[in-house]
Structure 1
Amino acid sequence: MFEKIKRNLRISIDAFDEDIRDLIEASKKDMKSHGVKKIEEDDPLIIRAVDLYCKGHFYLDNKDAERYLESYESLRDHLSLAGDYSNE
């Protein structure tokens, strides 16, 4: 998942790897705290949620950050209500 998220952020250098890894972990913890219990790294919806979270938090001057975070929250909330993701 890390490489995919890094590529989606359009980052080609290694200087931000730790920041990206931290954001990925933060997004997983946020999803868990909102009731998403099944977080598999190869699941397309989980990858999309992590991607949106990272895009919303990575760049300090991102004019679209709010839109990304709203999309993330909507997807996260949807996943927390879906039986496939909310049941262990």
Structure 2
Amino acid sequence: MLEKVRASLRIKNNKFDEEIRDLIDSAFIDLKISGVNTVSKETDPLIIQAIKTYCKANFGLDNKDSEKYQKSYDSIKEHLALCGEYNV
């Protein structure tokens, strides 16, 4: 998952890996708290997209697109939480 998120952030080195890992972990927790079953779904394209979008919204301090990505993440999370296949 780290490599996928790093690529989506357009980062080619491992300088920010700790921050990215923390964001990935936070995204999984946020999805779980919201009622999304993420257990054994790390290969699921919708879960992966949600994680990448969460990371895009929260990575870096001068992220001018943060609000746009946060709205997108919230929408994905809401749809997953309402879908019977992803409910906890």
Bin the TM-score by the shorter chain.
over 0.9
More helix by share: 1
Inter-partner Cα distance in structure 1 for 2:5 and 2:32: 19
Q: How far does residue 38 in structure 1 lie from its aligned partner after superposition?
A: 3.2
CA contact (8 A) 1:49 1:75 kept: yes
What TM-score, normalized by structure 2, do the two folds share?
A: 0.94
Inter-partner Cα distance in structure 1 for 2:4 and 2:68: 21
> Is the aligned partner of 1:43 residue 2:70?
no
What's the counterpart of residue 69 of structure 1?
A: 70
5+ residue gaps, structure 1, are none
Inter-partner Cα distance in structure 2 for 1:38 and 1:50: 11
List per-residue Cα deviations over 1:11-36 (Å, max 9, x = no partner): 11111001101100000000000000
5+ residue gaps, structure 2, are none
SS at match of 1:28: helix
What TM-score, normalized by structure 1, do the two folds share?
A: 0.94
Across the two proteins, how many residue pairs are aligned to each other?
87
- Aligned-residue Cα RMSD (Å) equals 1.0
Identity of aligned residues (%): 51
Counterparts of 1:1-88 in structure 2, within 5 Å, are 1-39=1-39, 40-87=41-88
Inter-partner Cα distance in structure 1 for 2:78 and 2:3: 25
